[in-house]
């Protein structure tokens, strides 16, 4: 079998230099006005031609490429996704949950999980995560909170977890999976940031290895796939592969992108051929980078369990957003920042590859000199949130028949929120659309406003207004 079945077959087709009377309309790049790089690349943007198989009914080179993926991850069956982990999360929910059923959900999940719940009018039981010690951001669930939620909701037969968090922090997911399985609960894991965990030590262990029933990973986040390239692994016989295929066919384009699928074939091959020596090289390079960074005065590093994630902070207290702006003018683009942290996602390098860590270090050094005098003007506030499980006061299907109205937050007690409001950090929603507004929540919202904490959602919160369903 070829090493990269899909890539090799597409390249064979390109080599023929054939005349296209088929879609796409750019005709192998002939009909295109733009940069030469873009135009030349378009030869790869093919369609379901002879020998190029069909993602939705794969039995040729795409089936071979997916078989290699299945084999590498040791799942029962793994599938290419061209619509990102968004499609993977929607699919795992729709394929395992019937309408109107209770489901246990980690409160700080990705919005695609909330969207999946909405599509099937699920009755979510939101379980609050721990706050991670080092970074003060949303972490994972504790076994205790999971046990309590299951005890209170014995009808729930599906649980949805996020692992690791954005910063590469993990938690003891194995115990949670084992406990859930003991209660007959299927465990779905959004492991978007963990596609490279398959490499094993010194990287964290994937939830696949711990027996999670379905795991979704973004191959484009830490592996060299193109954006929207992800995969879904079916990892237990408790899951119907027929249903997974059914929803993948519903949710994914009937004309899937060949470049994205090729990049998935390439990313799988990249991982498969990543040697112990390559791991050593990557880790050594990252250590070298960190050593250089540590010599920069005024810079603080925070490491997490995933070596590919690195958080940097300015000792003086400069807001991370401001530091990011300065860094970018010096040519270094981080993944994201909040009022304290800047997150770097580091490259997974083969030993033949150089990465410009010296240049990056110089740029960071120059940048920090410009911001080291700045203080963080945000007061440090610990948002002690309500840790009990919550559920929706108004179901997803009922919400559509309500109107939305802005009222003063101080008059919002016992009303139902029309907004999901999330302070960063820690990145855990204080309130989720459809939940009832309690006195404790009003206090938290006031605390956020008074302390100028960065909020997602809450359009008029700075005016002390909140949208409610009436």
Binding to a second copy (CB under 8 A) within 375-404 occurs at: 397, 400
Contacts of residue 302, defined as CB under 8 A and 6 or more positions apart, other chains included, come to 134, 135, 310, 311, 312, 313, 341
Residues 440 and 442: their CA atoms lie apart, in Å, by 5
Q: Under the criterion CB under 8 A, does residue 7 sit at the interface with a second copy?
A: yes
- Tell me if 255 contacts a second copy by CB under 8 A: yes
The correct pick among 142, 222, 313, 319 for binding a second copy (CB under 8 A) is 222
- Give the interface segment with a second copy, choosing from 13-21, 69-77, 385-393, 406-414 (CB under 8 A): 13-21
Contact 317, 298 (CB under 8 A): no
We find the least distance from the C-beta atom of residue 176 to a second copy, in angstroms, to be 25
CB of 383 to a second copy, least distance (A): 24
Check binding of 26 to a second copy (CB under 8 A): yes
**In the bound complex, what is the minimum distance in angstroms from residue 369's beta carbon to a second copy?**
18
Tokens matching residue 213: 């029933």
The stretch among 33-41, 180-188, 409-417, 445-453 that binds a second copy (CB under 8 A) is 33-41
Kindly write out the interface string for residues 424-453 of this chain, putting x where it contacts a second copy by CB under 8 A and - elsewhere.
Answer: ------------------------------
**Smallest separation (angstroms) from a second copy to the CB of 401:** 10
Query: Cα dist. 87→14, 75, 190, 356 in Å?
Result: 29, 19, 11, 34
CA 25 to chain centre: 33
Q: Is 267 in the site for a second copy (CB under 8 A)?
A: yes
What sign does the CA torsion over 217, 221, 225, 229 have? Answer: positive
Q: What torsion, rounded to 10 degrees, do the Cα atoms 77, 79, 84, 86 define?
A: -50
Among 73, 126, 210, 344, binds a second copy (CB under 8 A): 344
Residue 15 binds a second copy (CB under 8 A): no
Site for a second copy in 57-86 (CB under 8 A): 82-86
When the beta carbons of 176 and 392 are compared against a second copy, the nearer one is: 392
CA 295, chain centre distance (Å): 32
- CB atoms under 10 Å from CB of 446, counted, come to 14
CB of 257 to a second copy, least distance (A): 5
The residue whose two tokens read 């379901």 is 48
Nearest to 158 by CA among 106, 116, 107, 104: 104
Query: Which residue in the set 63, 67, 72, 119 belongs to the binding site for a second copy (CB under 8 A)?
Result: 119
Residue 218 within binding range of a second copy, rule CB under 8 A: yes
- Closest by CA position to 246, among listed 79, 373, 42: 79
Under the criterion CB under 8 A, does residue 209 sit at the interface with a second copy? no
Does 470 sit near a second copy (CB under 8 A)? no
**For a second copy, which stretch binds (CB under 8 A), given 24-32, 388-396, 418-426, 459-467?**
24-32
* Closer of 25 and 182 to a second copy (Cβ): 25
Tell which one of 129, 139, 204, 256 touches a second copy (CB under 8 A): 256
34, 74, 154, 202: which one contacts a second copy (CB under 8 A)? 34
Q: How long, in residues, is the chain?
A: 470
User: Nearer Cβ to a second copy, position 21 or 295?
Assistant: 21
Residues 421, 458: contact at Cβ < 8 Å?
yes
Give the bridge partners for 300, in sequence order: 313
Look up residue 146 and give its two tokens.
Answer: 């999971």
Asked if residues 311 and 338 have their Cβ atoms less than 8 Å apart, the reply is no
In the range 292-331, which residues lie near a second copy by CB under 8 A?
Answer: 310, 325, 328, 331
Distance CA 126, CA 250 (A): 27
Q: Which is nearer to a second copy, 45 or 303 (CB)?
A: 45
Alpha helices (runs of H) in 48-141, residue ranges in sequence order: 61-73, 84-96, 111-119
CA distance 178 to 191: 17
Checking DSSP bridges between strand 123-127 and strand 102-106, what pairing results, if any?
parallel
Give the total of residues touching a second copy (CB under 8 A).
101
| Contact with a second copy (CB under 8 A) among 108, 112, 206, 367 | 112
Q: Binding of a second copy at residue 405 (CB under 8 A)?
A: no
Region from 63-71, 114-122, 290-298, 381-389 binding a second copy, contact rule CB under 8 A: 114-122
């Amino acid at each position: 079998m070829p090493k990269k079945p899909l890539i090799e077959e597409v390249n064979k087709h390109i080599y023929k230099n054939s005349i296209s009377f088929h879609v796409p309309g750019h005709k192998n790049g002939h009909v295109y006005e733009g940069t030469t790089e873009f135009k030349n690349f378009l030869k790869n943007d093919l369609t379901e031609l002879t020998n190029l198989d069909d993602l939705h009914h794969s039995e040729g080179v795409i089936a071979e490429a997916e078989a290699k993926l299945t084999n590498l991850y040791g799942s029962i069956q793994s599938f290419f996704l061209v619509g990102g982990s968004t499609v993977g999360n929607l699919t795992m929910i729709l394929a395992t949950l019937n309408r109107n059923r209770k489901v246990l959900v980690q409160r700080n999940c990705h919005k695609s999980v909330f969207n999946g719940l909405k599509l099937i009018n699920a009755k979510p039981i939101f379980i609050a995560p721990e706050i991670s010690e080092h970074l003060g951001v949303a972490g994972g669930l504790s076994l205790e909170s999971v046990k309590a939620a299951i005890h209170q909701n014995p009808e729930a037969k599906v649980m949805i977890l996020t692992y690791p968090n954005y910063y590469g922090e993990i938690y003891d997911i194995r115990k949670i999976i084992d406990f859930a399985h003991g209660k007959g609960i299927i465990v779905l894991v959004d492991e978007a940031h963990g596609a490279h965990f398959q490499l094993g030590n010194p990287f964290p262990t994937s939830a696949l290895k711990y027996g999670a029933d379905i795991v979704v990973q973004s191959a484009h986040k830490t592996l060299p796939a193109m954006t929207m390239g992800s995969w879904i692994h079916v990892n237990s016989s408790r899951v119907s592969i027929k249903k997974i295929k059914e929803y993948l066919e519903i949710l994914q384009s009937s004309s899937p992108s060949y470049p994205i699928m090729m990049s998935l074939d390439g990313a799988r091959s990249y991982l498969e051929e990543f040697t112990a020596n390559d791991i050593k090289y990557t880790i050594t390079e990252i250590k070298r980078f960190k050593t250089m960074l540590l010599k920069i005065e005024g810079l603080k590093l925070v490491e997490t369990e995933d070596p590919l994630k690195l958080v940097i902070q300015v000792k003086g207290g400069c807001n991370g957003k401001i530091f990011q702006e300065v860094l970018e003018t010096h040519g270094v683009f981080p993944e994201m920042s909040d009022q304290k942290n800047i997150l770097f996602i580091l490259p997974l390098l083969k030993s033949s590859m150089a990465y410009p860590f010296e240049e990056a270090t110089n740029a960071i050094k120059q940048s920090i000199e410009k911001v080291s005098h700045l203080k963080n003007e945000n007061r440090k506030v610990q948002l002690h949130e309500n840790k009990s499980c919550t559920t929706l006061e108004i179901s997803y299907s009922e919400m559509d028949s309500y109107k939305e109205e802005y009222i003063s937050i101080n008059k919002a007690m016992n009303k139902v929120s029309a907004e999901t409001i999330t302070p960063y950090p820690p990145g855990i929603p204080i309130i989720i659309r459809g939940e009832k507004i309690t006195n404790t929540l009003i206090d938290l919202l006031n605390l956020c406003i008074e302390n100028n904490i960065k909020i997602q959602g809450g359009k008029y919160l700075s005016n002390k207004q909140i949208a409610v369903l009436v």
